[in-house]
A and B are shown apart, each in its own frame.
Chain A
C-alpha cells in the first residue's frame, strides 16, 4: 500500500515538474521576444502586446502554482504531517537564498537602466542634429534660389509662347533646365501642359492648395518634396507674369532633382534626426517598458525560484517523509512497506538500508512467530495433558517459586488454583497451614538437591486423613544445571481405604466362617450342660454351674453380635435409592430416642423447604441412628443432656448440598483420634465394636457425601457433620447406576 501511494505521488510530481518546466521555458522565451521587440526587432514587434499579456498570464499561473503549494504546505503543517516542518524550513531557506541576490540585481539594474537611458540624450547631440538638419536645408537653399531664378525665367519665356506651340517647346525648356517635370497650370491647379523625364508618369504632380493660395498672393513657392516614391525633389512654383489674372492667369511648376549624393546625405541627416527625436519622445515610455520587462524578469525569477524551492523541498523531504511513514508502519507491525530508493546518494543509501532492515525484521518476526506458534502448540499440548492428568503436578523454579500447576493439584489439595500463582514454597506453607507438611516435605527434598525422590505423607483433614504419595524430580536446563523441580502427587486415600476395607471384609468373612460356626455348638453345649447337671448337683455346685454356663452363653451371644456386626460391615447390601425428605428421617430419629427415655433433650433446627435428596432411606436411617446413638452416649456422663440436630442447604463450588449437624454437649473428642474414628475397630467407648462410625463413613461415601467429626468451638461437646449432594431429577439415573 505504501509503495503504491508513493508511485502515485511520483507520477503526480513528474506531471507538476513537466508543467512547471514548460511554463518556465515558455516565459523565458516570451521575455526574450519582448526584449527583442523593444529593440525594434521586426519579427517580434507586432507581438509585443500579446507577449506582454502572455507573460502576465504566465506570472499569474506561477503565482497560482505557488499559492496551491503554499496552501498544501500550510494544511500539512497544521495537520502535523511528517516532513512538513522540514519542507517549510527548506522552502524559506531556498527562497531567501534565491530571492535575495535577484532583488539586489534588480535594484541596481533599475538604477543602471535610468542612468543608461538618460545617457543616450544630450542637449549637445540634439543641437548638433538640429544644426545638421538646418545645414542640409541651407546647402539646398543655394541651389533652390538658383532654381527659383531659372523657373521665373522659364515663366517669362512661357508667357511669350502660344498655346499651340507650348506642347513642343515645353519639352525643350524642361530638357534645357534639366528639370524632372515641368508643368503649366491654371490658377486653380488644372494642368494645361506638362513635360516629364519619366515616360511612365502619365499624370503630372500638381501643387497643393496652400501653394496655390501662396501664388495667388503673387509669391513664388520653393520647397523640397518627395513625389511618387522618388527621392527628394525641389519644387518651384511661379506665376507667369503680365497675364490677365482673372482670365488667363497661369502658373508654372518645375520639379528639379537633387544629386544622388546630396539626396543620400540629406536622407541620412533626416533619418538620424527622426530617430533621435523618436527616442527622446519615447524616453519615459522606454524606461517604463524596460522596467516592466525587468520587473517581469524579476517576478519570473522570484516566482520560479520560490516554486522551484517548493518543488525541491518537497523532493528532498519526500524520502524523509517516506522513511518516517515506513518507520511508523513498522511500529504498527506492518513490515511489508518497501520505500522507493530516491537515488545513489546518501539518502538513497539510507532508504536502501531501511528496506534491508525491514526485510530482515520481517524475516526475523516470521521466524519468531513460527517459534511462538510451536511453543504455544507445545504449551497447549502440555496444558491439555496436565489438565487431563488425575495426578497433581506442581512445577517450582530453581528459586522455589511456583511456576506451573494443574487442576488436579488444586483439587487434591482442595485449594483455589489461582492462589498458587507466583508464590514461594515457604509462603505457600504459611498460607495453607493444613498443607504445611506437604510443602515442607517438598522443600526439604528440594534443599537436598535430589534428582528424584518419592515420599508418602498423611495430611490431616476434616473428613479424615488424606494420604498423598509425592514424586519429585529436578528439571534440567540447557546448560545441564537444575532449572526447577516438578512435583507429581497422587491421593491414595481411597486406595488405602479400599485395601483396608477389603482386609476388614476378609477378616469379617473369616470371623463369620471360623468363629461364628463353633459358637453355636459352644452355646448349645453350655445349655445342655446346665440342663443335664443343674438338677443333679448340690446347691453350691449348681449355683456355680448356673453362673458359669450363663457367662458362657452370654459371652457367646456377645461374640455372635460382634461377628454379625463385622458381617454387616463386610457385606455390601443392595443399594436402593429414592427421593428422601431429610427432615422426615431426622424426625424419626428424634422420636426413636425420645421414646427410649435416655434423658436427652433433643432439639431440631431444620431449614424450611429443605431440598429432597436421592439416596437409600434405610442406610441413611442407620447413619442417623448411629450418630444420634454416639451423641447420646457422649452426653451420658454429663448433667445437661442436650442434643441439637440441624439441617440446611448450602452452596459449595456451585453445587447444592444438604448439611446435617448432630451436636452434643458431652466431653468432646480427643483431637489425636478425631480423624481416626471413622476407621474400623477404633472407638473411644468401653463397649462397642468400633464399627458404627466406619459403617457411617461407608454409607455416606456410597452417597457421594462427606462426614466428619469436630469439637464444638464455643462450648463442650462434639458435632458430627454430614454433607449430602442434592441430585437433580435428570441426573438420578446416572447417579443410581454409578452407586
Chain B
C-alpha cells in the first residue's frame, strides 16, 4: 500500500516536473532517494549442481515477478532480457576467490499483441516458446533444469569451490530513453542477491 502510494506520488511528480533539465535532475535525485525504499522480490528458492557423465549440471528455481511498471512496459511492446548468471569460484586463503568459470543464460521476454501470447527466446540457443499467460512464460524462465555448466576436470580435490548464481533484469536491454531512470528506480530493480553453495570434487 505504501509502495503504491509512493509510486503514485512519484508518477504525479514526474507529470508535474517535466520539460526542463533542472526538473529532470530533481526527478533523478528523488528517484535515487526513493530507490532505497523498495526491495526486489527476486530471490532463489533453491539451486544445486550435480555430476553426470563428467559434467556438472544445474537445477535451480527462483522467484521472479514483474513489477507493475515492468508489466505495463511489456504490454506496451518493450522487450526484456532476463539474465541468470552462474559463477564458479575457487576459495583462497589470503586472496579473493578466483573465478574458474562462469555461464550466463539469457532469456528475452516479449509480448505479442496479435496472439496475446508471451514469447520467451533463449538467446543462447535461439529456442522460442510461446505462452498464453505471463506466468507460464516466467515459469519457463524461472525453472532451470539440466543446464550444462562445466567439465569436472575444472575442479581439483585439494580446493574448495563456491558456486553462486543470481538473476536480474538487464537494464541495458531496455530502450535508451528508459535506462537513466531505470537505474535509479525500484520499479526496475528485479535483481536477486547472489545465491551461494559450496562445491567439492
Q: What is the interface of chain A, defined by CB distance below 8 A to chain B?
A: 37-38, 40, 45-46, 48-49, 52, 110, 114, 133, 136-137, 208-211, 223-229, 232, 266, 269-270, 273-275, 277-278, 280-282, 284-289, 291-292, 294-295, 298
A136/B180 in contact, CB under 8 A: no
Measured CA separation A232–B116 after assembly (Å): 13
B124 on interface, CB distance cutoff 8 Å: no
Measured CA separation A232–B115 after assembly (Å): 9
B130 on interface, CB distance cutoff 8 Å: yes
Contacts A208-B131, A226-B128, A228-B128 known; A292 to B73 CB distance under 8 Å? no
B98 on interface, CB distance cutoff 8 Å: no
A137/B114 in contact, CB under 8 A: yes
Interfacial chain A residues near B36, Cβ < 8 Å = none
B178/A226 in contact, CB under 8 A: no
Instruction: Give the contacting residue for B181; candidates A133, A270, A288; CB below 8 A.
Output: A288
A46/B112 in contact, CB under 8 A: no
A229/B128 in contact, CB under 8 A: yes
B24/A270 in contact, CB under 8 A: no
B112/A270 in contact, CB under 8 A: yes
Contacts A229-B128, A273-B113 known; A288 to B78 CB distance under 8 Å? no
* Residue ID in chain B nearest A266 by CB atoms: B114
A281/B73 in contact, CB under 8 A: yes
Interfacial chain A residues near B114, Cβ < 8 Å = 133, 136-137, 224, 232, 266, 269-270, 273
Q: What is the interface of chain B, defined by CB distance below 8 A to chain A?
A: 14, 18-21, 24, 27, 72-73, 75-78, 112-115, 117, 119, 126, 128, 130-133, 136, 171-172, 175-181, 183
A114/B132 in contact, CB under 8 A: no
Measured CA separation A137–B177 after assembly (Å): 32
Contacts A223-B115, A285-B178, A291-B21 known; A278 to B136 CB distance under 8 Å? no
A274/B113 in contact, CB under 8 A: yes
List, sorted by A's number, 20 A–B pairs whose CB atoms are closer than 8 Å: A37-B176, A38-B176, A49-B172, A49-B179, A224-B115, A227-B130, A229-B128, A266-B114, A275-B77, A278-B77, A281-B73, A282-B175, A284-B14, A285-B178, A287-B19, A288-B27, A289-B176, A291-B19, A294-B21, A295-B24
Interfacial chain B residues near A110, Cβ < 8 Å = 19-20
B78/A278 in contact, CB under 8 A: yes
Write the nearest CB–CB distance from A620 to chain B, whole angstroms: 116
Contacts A281-B73, A291-B20 known; A270 to B180 CB distance under 8 Å? no
**A277-B113, A278-B77, A281-B73 are known contacts; what are 14 more A-B pairs with Cβ within 8 Å?**
A49-B171, A110-B19, A224-B117, A226-B117, A229-B128, A280-B76, A281-B77, A284-B14, A285-B178, A288-B27, A288-B177, A289-B177, A295-B21, A295-B24
* Residue ID in chain A nearest B179 by CB atoms: A49
Measured CA separation A295–B112 after assembly (Å): 36
Measured CA separation A269–B113 after assembly (Å): 10
B113/A281 in contact, CB under 8 A: no
| Interface core residue of A46, A232, A278 (most chain B CB under 10 Å) | A278
* Residue ID in chain A nearest B136 by CB atoms: A208
Measured CA separation A48–B18 after assembly (Å): 21
A278/B113 in contact, CB under 8 A: no
Interfacial chain B residues near A46, Cβ < 8 Å = 172
A288/B113 in contact, CB under 8 A: no
B176/A48 in contact, CB under 8 A: yes
Write the nearest CB–CB distance from B156 to chain A, whole angstroms: 37
* Residue ID in chain A nearest B117 by CB atoms: A225
Interfacial chain B residues near A291, Cβ < 8 Å = 19-21, 24
A226/B119 in contact, CB under 8 A: yes
B19/A278 in contact, CB under 8 A: no
Write the nearest CB–CB distance from A15 to chain B, whole angstroms: 32
Contacts A110-B19, A232-B115 known; A209 to B172 CB distance under 8 Å? no
